[in-house]
Structures are given as structure tokens and as C-alpha cells.
Amino acid sequence: MFLQVFLTFSVMVIMGRRRFAAARKGDIPLASFKTMQLGQAPENVQLASRNFENQFEIPVLFFVACLLGLHLQVTGWFFAVNGALFVVSRVAHSWVHLTNNHVLTRFRLFMLGCLFVLLQWLTLVATFI
């Protein structure tokens, strides 16, 4: 969970640096920041913004699964390995998204991460069946 939080903050820093650089170059009018309508921003800025948003979508299911697993004491090796693999997949997904943005590779990494979180949730459900 700590690595996923670190990833989120890392992407936030990248996003901020890209936004400031684009604003300094005049690629984004400062007035755009009032409403955060950055649709005209350069692609690398939009990608960083979208990746930051991604850190609050599927990872929320990961955090809830981890916290519920800890609370219910369902934290065996299978659960933990799937959690670790989820975070590795998210790091790889962010790397691809923020660098070459190869869509098929990014999609495969996204789906792989979803599978790992699904397996965590199935492990939780299995404890009640």
C-alpha cells in the first residue's frame, strides 16, 4: 500500500512539473488553471493529469481490499502476492502512460492489475463462503 501511495505522489509531482513547464512556455494560459480546463494543454500534460486521476480509480478497490483483509485477518501469501503484483502493474502502467503511451501495452497492464485486485476480492469473498 505504501508503494501505491508513493506512486500516486510521484505522478502528482510529474503532473505538476509538466503543468508549470507548459505554463512557463505559454502552452497553457494561466486563466485555464482557474477552472482547470486544460483541454488545450500539450499531450504530455494531459497524459500526466489523466494518469494522476487513474490513481484514484482501481487503486481505491486495492486499498479497500487491503484494509478489509487486514481487518478480517485474510492476509495470506496469495492475498499479499496479488496485492504486490497489482502495485507492480500500476507502476508499469504509469511508466508506459507517462513515456511512450503505447495504448495496447498500457491496456494489458491495466487489465492485469484489475485481475490482481479481483483475485484479492475473490479471496475475501471466499472467506465468507
pTM score over 0.95: no
Q: Please list, in sequence order, all residues whose beta carbon lies within 8 angstroms of the beta carbon of residue 73, skipping any fewer than 6 positions away.
A: none
Place 11 in a pLDDT band, splitting at 50, 70 and 90.
Answer: very high
* The predicted structure's pLDDT at residue 16: 92
* The predicted structure's pLDDT at residue 42: 81
Q: Provide the grid cell at 73.
A: 485477518
Distance CA 122, CA 116 (A): 10
pLDDT per residue as tens digits for the range 57-106: 999 999 999 999 999 998 899 999 999 999 999 999 999 999 999 999 99
9 touches 68 (CB < 8 A): no
50 touches 101 (CB < 8 A): no
Distance CA 100, CA 4 (A): 21
